[in-house]
A and B are shown apart, each in its own frame.
Chain A
Amino acid sequence: MPVIKRVVLDVLKPHQPNVLEFATAIADCHGGCRITVTVTEIDEKTETTVISVESEDVPYAAIVETIRELGASVHSIDEVEVSSMASADAG
């Protein structure tokens, strides 16, 4: 079964929590993930960010739910890497 290795999301978030707290909160909820958050635009109340999540199996639905709980909204999926290759251990 294919697993998501990497997903890049366009996310609109409020200023608080700040980017560091935002990324840390997502990483805290989902172990084994590497989170990269890049701020691309800032306006009065919000920031447009690009969030990259990498893992052996990205829990996409849970990540999106966490992002929503932090007051942000996912505008689009900009990039995705999915793998259906068998793992080295199983090979």
Chain B
Amino acid sequence: MIAQLRFLLQLTHGHRIARRYFVTNGFDGALTMLGLTTGFYSAGEVATPVVISACLGGAIALTVSGLSSAYVSESAEREKELKELEQAVAADLQHTAHGQAARWVPILIAFVNGLAPLLIALFIMLPLWLSQAGIALPLTALESSMVLAFVALFLLGAFLGTVSGRFWLWSGLRTLSVAALTAAVILAFGA
């Protein structure tokens, strides 16, 4: 099954699209969580359950948005491509590998687009849950979450660097600077 899905992704170059969506929506998720945690941090004393609820709500909204938008747009694109290919080969391709790819690849890409922000958001929220569970952290829960958001954004940048052939450190530092600028603006508004 995995081999067949990999074949369908290669057929449509879906693996490149999925990789792009993973980074784009992963970035959205990480920056959104950074924004929320930084906003709560600058607001002062906020109960951890309130922060968790807000962050979880944001993560779920991003997930649903990612799933639905990617499925709708990719389905339309794959259908269009399939029709053009059917005209070119003058044959019905519904029961071929291309027809299967047109049906399954949008679902796979939608999952990647939806799960990327959710997984990254859950990673960033870890200190909040640990703090809620009474586990002591070296920094406050919000500060720890902000640090994890910076780490996540750096890693996304480093990943992009390896994909594009650029030095991973510079790519990571570039996305880290976007995170730092975002946090700085939020803190400036909250000051």
Contacts and interface: CB of A to CB of B under 8 A. Distances in A.
B84 interface: yes
A68 B90 CA distance: 12
Interface residues of B, number: 16
Nearest to A46: B88
Contact of A14 (B7, B13, B85, B95): B85
A21 B3 CA distance: 13
Given A12-B89, A14-B89, A17-B11, A71 B84 contact: no
B10 interface: yes
A16 B43 CA distance: 54
Contacts, number: 41
B98 A71 contact: yes
Contact of A71 (B10, B13, B89): B89
Interface residues of A, number: 16
A58 B95 CA distance: 24
A70 B96 contact: yes
Contacts of B93: 71
Given A14-B88, A16-B10, 11 more contacts: A13-B89, A14-B85, A44-B88, A45-B88, A46-B88, A68-B96, A69-B95, A71-B85, A71-B97, A72-B89, A73-B89
